[in-house]
Amino acid sequence: MVDWFASPAPTLGIGVSYDNGSTYTSIWSITPTGNVNQQTINASFITPVSDSPDAINMNIVFYVNGYSYNLDYWYIDDIIMVDDDYSAVPDPTNVSATAISTSQINVAFTPNSSNNNVVVQHLSF
């Protein structure tokens, strides 16, 4: 919701940054010409691959560009972020382990349908 005062009003927006806010890409913006009632805003963006340093430093940016004196208030409430592209990776099937010696085993399995990498972790008790 925007409580507008006069023209020219500043541009209000939401952006995404991968360099701690030094630069950002706008994913939604508005330049009000009057009061703006509450509304639901859906904005989307694509993050770099998850092992990229850029994905670790992602920031959501709320910005005001312009003459902020002509804006009384900008109300922001109930922010929800959803990963709409997430899908769980199915586990491999038919997993078996056969001892070869006291210090070695053979592990066999059928890869999942996406043929994703499998991590085998050794735990000592």
Number of domains comprising the chain: 1
Q: Is residue 46 part of a domain?
A: yes
CA distance 98 to 75: 62
Q: Is residue 107 part of a domain?
A: no
Q: Is residue 85 part of a domain?
A: no
Q: Is residue 27 part of a domain?
A: yes
Residue partners of 32: CB distance under 8 A and separation at least 6: 2, 4, 9, 12, 71
Tell me the residue range of the domain where 70 lies. Answer: 2-74
Report which residue type is found at 59: N
pLDDT of residue 85: 64
Structure tokens at 119: 């991590």
Q: Which pLDDT tens digits describe the chain residue by residue (125 residues)?
A: 788 888 888 999 999 988 878 889 999 999 999 998 988 888 888 777 666 665 667 888 989 998 888 888 888 888 887 776 666 667 778 888 888 887 777 888 887 776 666 666 666 55
Q: Is residue 44 part of a domain?
A: yes
Q: Is residue 69 part of a domain?
A: yes
Q: Are 18 and 49 in contact (CB under 8 A)?
A: no
Q: Is residue 36 part of a domain?
A: yes
pLDDT of residue 14: 92
